[in-house]
Amino acid sequence: MMRRKNDNKRYFTRMGTRKKVHAFVRVKPTDDFAHEMIKYGDDNKSIDIHIKKDLQKGVVNNKQTDWSFKLDGVLHNASQDLVYETVAKDVVAQALDGYNGTIMCYGQTGAGKTYTMTGTTENYKHRGILPRALQQGETNRIIASHTMNKNSSRSHCIFTIYVEAHSRTLSDEKYITSKINLVDLAGSERLKKSGSEGRVLKEATYINKSLSFLEQAIIALGDQKRDHIPFRQCKLTHALKDSLGGNCNMVLLTNIYGEASQLEETLSSLRFASRMKLVTTEPAINEKYDAERMVKNLEKELALLKQELAIHDSLANRTLVNYDPMDEIQIAEINSQVRRYLEGTLDEIDIINLRQIQEVFNQFRVVLSQQEQEVELTLRRKYTLIDKNDFAAISAVQKAGLMDVDGHLVGEPDGQGFGLGVTPFSAKPGKKAKSKKMFKEQLRPSTPPPKPVAFEDFKNERGSEINRIFKENKSILNERRKRASETTQRINAIKREMDVTKEALNFQKSLREKQGEYENKGLMIIDEEEFLLILKLKDLKKQYRTEYQDLRDLKAEIQYCQHLVDQCRHRLLMEFDIWYNESFFIPEDIQVSLKPGGSIRPGMVPISRIMSLGEDDQDKFSQLQQTELPEGPDSFSFYNAKVKTEQKHNYLKTMMGFQQAHRK
């Protein structure tokens, strides 16, 4: 009755792909087979159970009268030979290639689990999976070890075959290890039927418990969303921890009776089989490396490469290149080379070999970090440095009037772009800066206002247009950012709903598979709920794609806007700097000459004028400023004269700056 099909062969793909546990059913031969109730599918891959209405009450306490179970094969009146071929041969073959394998027999007592797994010892033809697996291993010249326990119906029995396979080529450092677990489970029948008492009942209860733990573990394994699998609940699941699911090839063979009287247990066994089919595993090779062989191989390779290098050197006329690690003297030499190179006294560093190149880079890093430290040290010696982020310290400095006029800009409201710098204390030893009022009263104050204040003025004056554009661009950018964040939130919400729908769909599907699927002329019958879920999922996917496209477009826009904003900010700052210099440093008459087409271009100030004011004038001047002004506010005309001189001086300073910048 059992037909062997080609598609029953080669169940196991190479690696990396998930696959389901293969579930087979073996029916114990009987003269009293319940033809009316147990029917096999045409392809021998399903079993239909039908219970007559009148029998229904007595046999199964269930409204249902029909079940259909999908399997990977039904073995009816099958020889031990055929069972091994169908169920075990590929698992064992794959174990010899490094994949772990588990074959498990499940079913009620007497249904033939032990017969299938171990077989009878009297008749060679009737030997089971275990002796055949050892035999298959032996023909492959693999050393296998095993322990055999005396098996009873009331205990679980696990045989483990350990495989370790080395390549015939001695130099090959890779080898594989694998395990084959052959599991003969204790009887799965329910307690009330076995009629057990006393110690036997206790044992049976225990077995039943461990089987139900096994079921729980299997249900958890079948649920892709679960990441915790309850393996530790009992010895059985603990022992099978790395044999259930995971990276192994897994086969479940369910032994059933063919008689009508056993139908209730048969149904329960078949349900277990279909739950098991939901479990997926991801077979992978257990590859190991023989460290000793590996070292030997590497040493050999190293010697070869050294010889190869020597040949290359002699061909290139290079003598005696040393490829060993560098010593301290060599490293010091490279360090000095790098220093000379940075100073400009050495034009090139000759390349010798890879090690030397690496050391050159190393020394660059060393020199760089030393220089950084030196710069910082010099700065600290000269200045008191304040942390830019220490706002309390900065405001204290500002309050004390110690903030230099050249202190950098206080940032825009969003804090982008501008830094706040603090210049040396020593530059203004404790003297209070002139009040802001003084700036206002004079058109061109001798001491320019602080840049942050000036910047606000600039934004209302000459910079108003560019500032307007800048603000506009920023608001567009912010609006796009907001939209992108909203779209992202929507995408996440859709994704969550997709997950929930998928989960519900999986649940419906597993429900269908657990209860036995209904098929009608090859068409799957799906209930309305599942159908609606499928539609919903499709719709969600569509929404997801649209939103995702939107988000991508938005991101491109954001990038573009960001660029515009950066450009604008840069422009704003540049214009401000020009405006600041023009307003507070360069006298108006010169400004006219400086304008495009004017008579003076940067770098063209007559030398005689630069020479006309020396350092001393500046010194005298600032002394006057400091001593006379606070006490004698009446000496205004005198003060004005000073201002004029100072302006001239500032102008020259600026022009010299221009000139220098121009030369660079």
Which of 8, 100, 114, 356 lies at the binding interface for Mg ion (CB under 5 A)? 114
The span of 111-119, 320-328, 446-454, 569-577 binding Mg ion (CB under 5 A) equals 111-119
Structure tokens that stand for 316 in this block: 């290139």
* Nearest CA among 291, 302, 293, 362 for reference residue 330: 362
Relative to beta strand 66-70, strand 46-50 is antiparallel
281 binds Mg ion (CB under 5 A): no
Handedness of CA 625, 626, 630, 635 (dihedral sign): negative
The CA-based angle 572-573-578, given to 5 degrees, is: 100
Tell me the CA end-to-end span of the chain in Å, nearest whole number. 97
180 binds ligand ADP (CB under 6 A): no
Q: Which amino acid is at 535?
A: L
Closest distance of CB 235 from Mg ion, Å? 18
262 binds ligand ADP (CB under 6 A): no
115 binds ligand ADP (CB under 6 A): yes
Q: Which amino acid is at 271?
A: R
Q: 145 by DSSP, 3-state: which?
A: strand
630 binds ligand ADP (CB under 6 A): no
Tokens 């430290």 belong to residue: 373
- What is the Cα–Cα distance from 241 to 583, expressed in whole angstroms? 81
Closest distance of CB 157 from Mg ion, Å? 8
Applying CB under 5 A, the site for Mg ion has a residue count of 3
450 binds, among Mg ion, ligand ADP, none (CB under 5 to 8 A by kind): none
112 binds, among Mg ion, ligand ADP, none (CB under 5 to 8 A by kind): ligand ADP
111 binds ligand ADP (CB under 6 A): yes
81 binds ligand ADP (CB under 6 A): no
Closest distance of CB 121 from ligand ADP, Å? 11
Which of 107, 245, 448, 463 lies at the binding interface for ligand ADP (CB under 6 A)? 107
The span of 108-116, 220-228, 464-472, 503-511 binding ligand ADP (CB under 6 A) equals 108-116
Task: Judge whether 240 and 218 are in contact, CB under 8 Å.
Answer: no
Report which residue's Cβ sits closest to Mg ion: 114
Between 122 and 634, whose beta carbon lies closer to ligand ADP?
122
153 binds Mg ion (CB under 5 A): yes
Between 114 and 363, whose beta carbon lies closer to ligand ADP?
114
459 binds ligand ADP (CB under 6 A): no
Which of 86, 109, 274, 356 lies at the binding interface for ligand ADP (CB under 6 A)? 109
131 binds ligand ADP (CB under 6 A): no
The span of 62-70, 113-121, 154-162, 333-341 binding ligand ADP (CB under 6 A) equals 113-121
603 binds, among Mg ion, ligand ADP, none (CB under 5 to 8 A by kind): none
* Nearest CA among 168, 7, 160, 179 for reference residue 94: 179
277 binds ligand ADP (CB under 6 A): no
Closest distance of CB 87 from ligand ADP, Å? 13
Between 85 and 223, whose beta carbon lies closer to ligand ADP?
85
Between 111 and 565, whose beta carbon lies closer to Mg ion?
111
- What is the Cα–Cα distance from 524 to 263, expressed in whole angstroms? 26
- What is the Cα–Cα distance from 426 to 192, expressed in whole angstroms? 98
118 binds Mg ion (CB under 5 A): no
Closest distance of CB 113 from ligand ADP, Å? 3
Per DSSP, 56 falls in state H
* Nearest CA among 448, 660, 457 for reference residue 575: 457
The span of 107-115, 239-247, 388-396, 447-455 binding Mg ion (CB under 5 A) equals 107-115
- What is the Cα–Cα distance from 21 to 13, expressed in whole angstroms? 13
Closest distance of CB 109 from ligand ADP, Å? 4
Closest distance of CB 491 from ligand ADP, Å? 54
Q: Which amino acid is at 603?
A: G
153 binds ligand ADP (CB under 6 A): yes
86 binds ligand ADP (CB under 6 A): no
- Which residues on neighbouring strands pair with residue 519, listed in sequence order? 524
* Nearest CA among 403, 442, 465 for reference residue 583: 442
Query: Taking CB under 6 A as the rule, which mask of x and - marks residues 348-377 in contact with ligand ADP?
Result: ------------------------------
- What is the Cα–Cα distance from 78 to 88, expressed in whole angstroms? 14
115 binds, among ligand ADP, Mg ion, none (CB under 5 to 8 A by kind): ligand ADP
Task: Judge whether 580 and 463 are in contact, CB under 8 Å.
Answer: no
Which of 46, 86, 102, 114 lies at the binding interface for ligand ADP (CB under 6 A)? 114
159 binds ligand ADP (CB under 6 A): no
**Strand blocks (E) in 386-540:** 519-520, 523-524
List strands edge to edge, sheet with 46-50.
38-40, 46-50, 66-70
Between 253 and 586, whose beta carbon lies closer to ligand ADP?
253
The distance from CA 196 to its chain's CA centroid, rounded to whole angstroms, is 55
Task: Judge whether 180 and 100 are in contact, CB under 8 Å.
Answer: yes
Applying CB under 6 A, the site for ligand ADP has a residue count of 14
Structure tokens that stand for 343 in this block: 């100073």
266 binds, among Mg ion, ligand ADP, none (CB under 5 to 8 A by kind): none
Structure tokens that stand for 230 in this block: 């309850």
28 binds, among Mg ion, ligand ADP, none (CB under 5 to 8 A by kind): ligand ADP
- What is the Cα–Cα distance from 285 to 283, expressed in whole angstroms? 7
188 binds ligand ADP (CB under 6 A): no
- What is the Cα–Cα distance from 390 to 48, expressed in whole angstroms? 80
Structure tokens that stand for 80 in this block: 């031990």
Relative to beta strand 101-107, strand 249-256 is parallel
- What is the Cα–Cα distance from 213 to 227, expressed in whole angstroms? 17
Using CB under 6 A as the criterion, which residues of the chain lie in contact with ligand ADP when the complex forms?
28-29, 107, 109-115, 120, 153, 187, 255
Q: Which residues bind Mg ion (CB under 5 A)?
A: 113-114, 153
